[in-house]
Amino acid sequence: MSATDAAVTALAGEQAAVYAYGVIAAQLSAAQEKQALAAMAAHRAQRDLLLARLQSDGATASPAAAAYTLPSPVVDGASARALAGLVEDRLAGQWAALAAASDGEQRTAAALVAQSCAVRGVTWTGVAPVWSGAV
């Protein structure tokens, strides 16, 4: 996978994450809602950086969808935290793929974002998923 393809995939993930965190925040207590909104802000910032990177590379990125189909209903705090963990786990993998396809400073930056996503995922679920091939 090329770095551009990996960036397009990560961008799509970030766009979906921003949407998901709006749904997630609505189901959480005040303290956790604040945490969800901070995560949403982080994903917006990463989305914007990816858009700028792709535009500077002359690549075309798809716009965000108006809405996304969630993998399961989000009806309470537990289901919201589960979705947040899933979102972060998937994004960690997408950013890791971008790191693998990149080099230099872009590789380092993508790896650090993957790490941030993984940490947020564990924060939401209390479980550290094992990535395929990690053991």
> Which domains are present in the chain?
3-125 (1.20.1260.10)
CB 15 within 8 A of CB 65: yes
Write out pLDDT tens, residues 17-41: 999 999 999 999 999 999 999 999 9
Write out pLDDT tens, residues 44-67: 999 999 999 999 999 988 999 999
Give the burial class of 81: count Cβ atoms within 10 A of its Cβ; 0-12 exposed, 13-18 middle, 19 or more buried.
buried
Q: What is the DSSP letter of 26?
A: T
Give the burial class of 115: count Cβ atoms within 10 A of its Cβ; 0-12 exposed, 13-18 middle, 19 or more buried.
middle
Distance from C-alpha of 28 to C-alpha of 110, rounded to nearest angstrom: 29
